[in-house]
Amino acid sequence: SQQGEEDPQALSIQEGENATMNCSYKTSINNLQWYRQNSGRGLVHLILIRSNEREKHSGRLRVTLDTSKKSSSLLITASRAADTASYFCATTHRYNNNDMRFGAGTRLTVKP
Amino acid sequence: SQTIHQWPATLVQPVGSPLSLECTVEGTSNPNLYWYRQAAGRGLQLLFYSVGIGQISSEVPQNLSASRPQDRQFILSSKKLLLSDSGFYLCALGLAGEKFFGPGTRLTVL
């Protein structure tokens, strides 16, 4: 079964705007990761945040993690048309690093 | 750095035919390897993972099987494909808590 649940399922914004995607999960986790997938392609790892971290930055990406609410958010600032893709969160089980579960993803469209 | 190869890139097979998808990795030794399936417009479902040669853990009971004959080779198989086996199959490598994905194989079962 899917572990992470992303919302919104689809998001459409104008170039230059910020995009925020959310993810909720149910079990105890070791870390949470965000991936990007262009249409029909493999997944690209974006960022990993550990369960003892609350916020992490990488370039235009900002990820937050609230373990009390079992939720995470991915913020993409100053979006570009090339950011158009599907974004997935994935949680790694706290006691089994091999147990990594994905949500259904958010489809982001950035209009030029 | 590690590299993940998958082939074929696309495959169209009739119902009831056998399947063999191959994944090989470079740039690392004794990796944890994973097979995921992604249905159209959906997230990824973990099918199998392997922590070493001959060691396979199955997450979802179904008509698929996996084997790891060599340290850097992971194979996904089926004796008889079903229509529901259509999807995008991704091999992944686990490294320091992160997973890195191959380019995937798109399987269509007709």
One-letter amino acid for residue B39 of the chain:
A
- Interatomic CA distance for residues A22 and A20, integer angstroms: 7
Is the pLDDT assigned to residue A3 strictly greater than 70?
A: no
pLDDT tens-place string over residues A54-103: 999 999 999 999 999 999 999 999 999 999 999 999 998 888 877 888 88
Exposed/middle/buried for A14, CB within 10 Å: 0-12, 13-18, 19+? exposed
Radius of gyration for the alpha carbons in chain B, expressed in angstroms and rounded = 13
Put simply, whether B56 touches A (Cβ < 8 Å) is no
> Which residue out of A1, A27, A37 would a mutagenesis test of the B interface target, given it has the greatest number of B Cβ atoms within 10 Å?
A37
Q: Which backbone phi and psi does B47 adopt, to 5 degrees?
A: -100, -55
CB contact under 8 A, A40 and B94: no
Query: Right CATH number for A5-111 from 3.30.2320.30, 3.30.720.110, 2.60.40.10, 2.40.110.10?
Result: 2.60.40.10
What is the domain partition of chain B in residue ranges?
3-109
- Interatomic CA distance for residues B26 and B73, integer angstroms: 10
- As a 3-state breakdown, chain B gives helix, strand, coil percent values, each rounded to 5, of 5, 60, 35
CB contact under 8 A, A90 and B103: no
CB of A14 within 8 A of CB of A110? yes
- Confidence at residue A4, expressed as pLDDT on a 0 to 100 scale: 61
3-state secondary structure of A71: strand
CB contact under 8 A, A2 and B106: no
CB contact under 8 A, B46 and A100: yes
3-state secondary structure of B75: strand
Please report where in the chains the tokens 């104008």 appear, as a residue. A14
C-alpha distance from A79 to closest chain B C-alpha (Å): 23
What is the domain partition of chain A in residue ranges?
5-111
Put simply, whether B31 touches A (Cβ < 8 Å) is no
Categorise residue B104: left if φ over 0, alpha if ψ from -120 to 50, beta otherwise: left
Fold of B3-109: Immunoglobulin-like (2.60.40)
pLDDT tens-place string over residues B49-104: 999 999 998 887 678 999 999 999 999 999 999 999 999 999 999 887 788 899 99
